[in-house]
Amino acid sequence: MQPGVERIDAYFTGHAYDPHRHDFYAIGYTLSGVQSFVYRGARANSVRGNVIVIHPDEVHDGRAGAEPGFRYRMIYLQPALVRAALEGKARSLPFIRNVLSRDRRLYEALLPAFADMTRPL
């Protein structure tokens, strides 16, 4: 990974985290279970294969939406990296209205970013 990019692979049961915000984009997907959270004032429930896009400064929380818990992977990107990747093709940072997506192209585009997550450190 490069500076300005972080990744996690996490598993939670019950309460995962209190309301908080990030200075960066959080983009990832649910691997198993039901990942339940409040984002932009509405409850969202992500299941296996859903892509999640949380924008900088947006408050959200997290909890398991079902007894077995949930597992997810997330990549955190500094907005400056997103801006640089756009190479001046947009006047502002992108905003995706829906926090959850079933778009297979987006899901498959994320997979290489996590390809080595199962490799021991």
Burial state string for 43-71 with b = 16 or more CB within 10 A and e = fewer than 16: ebebbeebbbbbbbeeebebbbbeeebbe
**Per-residue confidence (pLDDT) for residue 90, from 0 to 100:** 81
**Per-residue confidence (pLDDT) for residue 91, from 0 to 100:** 83
Nearest in space to 50 (alpha carbons), one of 15, 65, 41: 65
**Per-residue confidence (pLDDT) for residue 95, from 0 to 100:** 84
**Per-residue confidence (pLDDT) for residue 119, from 0 to 100:** 74
What single-letter amino acid sits at 62? G
Q: How far apart are alpha carbons 44 and 41 in whole angstroms?
A: 10
Question: 74 and 8 in contact (C-beta within 8 Å)?
Answer: yes
Which tokens in the block code for residue 115? 């390809």
Positions in the chain whose pLDDT score sits under 50: none
